[in-house]
Amino acid sequence: MNDTIIELRDVWKIYKMGKVDVNALRGMNFRVKRNEFVSIMGPSGSGKSTAVNMVGCLDIPTKGDVYLDGKNIAHLPESTLAQIRGRKIGFIFQTFNLIQTLSAKENIILPMIFQGIPADKREKRAEKLLRLVQLEDRMNHRPAELSGGEQQRVAIARSLANDPDVILADEPTGNLDSKTGRIVMNFLKDLNKKEGKTIVMVTHDAELAKHADRIAYLKDGVIIKQ
């Protein structure tokens, strides 16, 4: 379907733990429309992290198909998946994952280097993105010199570095106080409504999940309600 940007079809992920098979995903079916904001919720051990890895091209299924923008990526080599990730998907993590030795601006520039964007364009785009998240006055600060909320806003800016179609946010407010978490959520909503980004957010917080257009509930490796 033309309006579908992500689709998991009968996706299984089976991990070998010694002689035991652990089914993290059990025939999961999941579809995200272009420009949609979807939350994924579920208890610990429900398969949320594994599902995120599938959506984000960070892992491949044991069985089943994963479509990104109409292309089946389920069995592509890691080198190809890495290129797709770099172009199509921006990641926001609970732990920020900023490089401590780089400034805020340099952290945003880094993903653009891997995509071969010229230096002058990298500089201009990084500065534009820092203005977008209202941190232009902190661009030369390293992560240790920024608050948790500021670090997460840098991470949001970094996720936009290569103008991806999809933003994948894994517990994006998990390490933030409630006030700062609301600020970050407002940025995500603006990215969805004003910038037209598709957002898939994993959260255990029911109040945060309500900000999405739709909530998908995951249990025992399958979507039970959406």
Helices 148-159 and 178-193 meet at what angle, rounded to 10?
Answer: 20
Cα–Cα–Cα angle for 28, 33, 36, rounded to 5 degrees: 110
Q: Write down the pLDDT at residue 6.
A: 93
Q: Write down the pLDDT at residue 97.
A: 92
Q: Residue 66 and residue 79: Cα distance in Å, rounded?
A: 17
pLDDT: which is higher, 16 or 103: 103
Cα–Cα–Cα angle for 131, 40, 184, rounded to 5 degrees: 20
Global pTM reads 0.90
Domains of the chain (ranges plus CATH)?
A: 37-46+77-225 (3.40.50.300)
Question: Hey, what amino acid is at 82?
Answer: A
